[in-house]
Amino acid sequence: MRPRSPYPPSIAALAVALLIHRSRRRRRAEYRHLVSRADPVGDVRTHSPMGTAALGLAALLGGGYLMSRELRRGPAESSSTVEESIELEVPVSTAYNQWTQFEDFPKFMATVEAVNQIDTTHLHWRAIVGGKIKEWDAEITEQIPDERIAWRSTSGVRNSGVVTFHKITDSRTRVMLRMDYDPQNLVEKVADAGGAVKLTTKGNLKRFKKLLETRGQETGAWRGTITQH
């Protein structure tokens, strides 16, 4: 016969539940720590050997809890959204003008290797996604000077979004970014569930702020208007 526990069943069950809860919290904390090392706010990019290895290890550590949660999601729930904002000590026109310089994005976007502007509304991207190099095409669907820039992908990695610019004072601006994307494989889904995309987006905005405030002016500008299509 199996020996009886010296504790009442209710207490034993509570103890087991507490141990499972602590284990999950520890795994999530380890995952966030590794991701933060993989994408710091400084100049180290997430596609460095250490960053890529850390992201892979983070995916394993996230295993049981995060993967099971992602696998239970249906097709309608596959899309994810990230929203971040930051305030810059520059005029709204300066912040907007700099964002129109798409080929400068690798200077502050940690996982972006290159952005080639094909024409006024079309871009070709090359970036590290889920630890792998991926390329895709995108089009600008709306662009209003000093107000907003919206885009959507037309091939490859599926994503879309909008960045808006809000005047606080003559010398202070709030930049708000919203992006919708579809994690494709298990590594991307685990990274998404652990907040890796949100962390990267926040770091990108901080680097944009540092780049612009250090220079004090934009590297270029395009003031044309594109209507929604």
Partners of residue 122 on adjacent β-strands: 139
Q: Does position 47 have pLDDT exceeding 50, yes or no?
A: no
- The crossing angle, in degrees rounded to 10, of helices 196-215 and 92-99 is 120
Of 189 and 45, more confident:
189
| pLDDT tens per residue, range 124-145 | 999 998 889 999 999 999 999 9
Q: What is the pLDDT of residue 79?
A: 83
pLDDT grade, residue 46 (50/70/90)? very low
Q: Which fold has domain 9-215?
A: Alpha-D-Glucose-1,6-Bisphosphate; Chain A, domain 4 (3.30.530)
**Mind giving me the DSSP string for 166-199?**
EEEETTEEEEEEEEEE---SHHHHHHHHTTHHHH
Least confident residue range of 61-75, 116-130, 132-146, 158-172: 61-75
Rounded Cα–Cα distance for residues 137 and 157 (Å)? 8
| Mean pLDDT of all residues in 199-216 | 96
pLDDT of residue 83: 97
> Is pLDDT at 64 greater than 70 in this prediction?
no
Q: Is 144 exposed, middle or buried (0-12, 13-18, 19+ CB in 10 A)?
A: middle
- Rounded to an integer, what distance in angstroms lies between the CA atom of residue 168 and that of residue 164? 13
pLDDT of residue 52: 46
With 90 as the cut, is the pLDDT of residue 151 above it?
yes
CB-neighbour burial class of residue 64 (10 A; exposed 0-12, middle 13-18, buried 19+): exposed
Mean of the pLDDT values across residues 34-58? 45
Residue 34 has pLDDT above 90, yes or no: no
- Residue with the bigger pLDDT between 116 and 29: it is 116
